[in-house]
Amino acid sequence: MIEASTPIKARARPLPMVADFGYGLQYPLAQGRNRVLVPRGRYRVLLYSQYTWWQVGKAWLDIDTTHGPTMFYYAPPYTIYSAGAAGFGPQQRPGRSVMLAVIAAAVLVPLLLVGLGVLLAR
């Protein structure tokens, strides 16, 4: 069972999330609990969000299903520029500082250019 948190949003739409167990076992994930059936064994699970042709928000987790079902969590980042988080307990979404830096740059760079233009025009 995989608990996935809120997906990354790009252009106001959520990006698809995927759990890749290797050996051709790939499963799409939805927000919330996802029941995934895999054969018993040990896996290195790659969890990511699909952005066009790129895998973003990657997180890896080693799991062992030899003793029965395993519950784990995946938290994609806030933006496509950060790694995701995976673990056996609830995870915090990483990348909040990157998101704030991108927003701050989008606001401050134009203001700086306008201010510089006003100073040079005098």
For residue 20, is it within any domain? yes
Arithmetic mean of pLDDT, 98-113: 86
Q: Kindly state whether residue 38 falls inside one of the protein's structural domains.
A: yes
pLDDT at site 26: 95
Tell whether 41 is covered by a domain.
yes
CA angle 88, 31, 96 (to 5 degrees): 75
Does residue 67 sit within a domain?
yes
Domains contained in the chain, number: 1
| Residue 88 DSSP symbol | S
- Please report the pLDDT score of residue 121 as a whole number: 85
Q: Is 99:79 a contact under the CB 8 Å cutoff?
A: yes
Domain-located, residue 109: no
> How large is the average pLDDT for residues 66-94?
92
Contacts of 11 (CB under 8 A, 6+ apart): none
d(CA 81, CA 92): 16
**Model confidence pLDDT, tens digit, residues 30-47:** 999 999 999 999 999 999
Q: Is residue 52 part of a domain?
A: yes
Answer whether residue 7 is part of any domain: yes
pTM: 0.79
Task: Quote the percentage of the chain above a pLDDT of 70.
Answer: 100
- Residue 108 lies inside a defined structural domain of this protein: no
Q: Which domain holds residue 63?
A: 2-94
Model confidence band, residue 14 (pLDDT cutoffs 50, 70, 90): very high
Residue type, position 31, single letter: Q
Q: Is the pLDDT of residue 122 over 80?
A: no
- Mean pLDDT value across residues 10-27: 92
Categorize the per-residue pLDDT at 78 as very low, low, confident or very high, splitting at 50, 70 and 90: confident
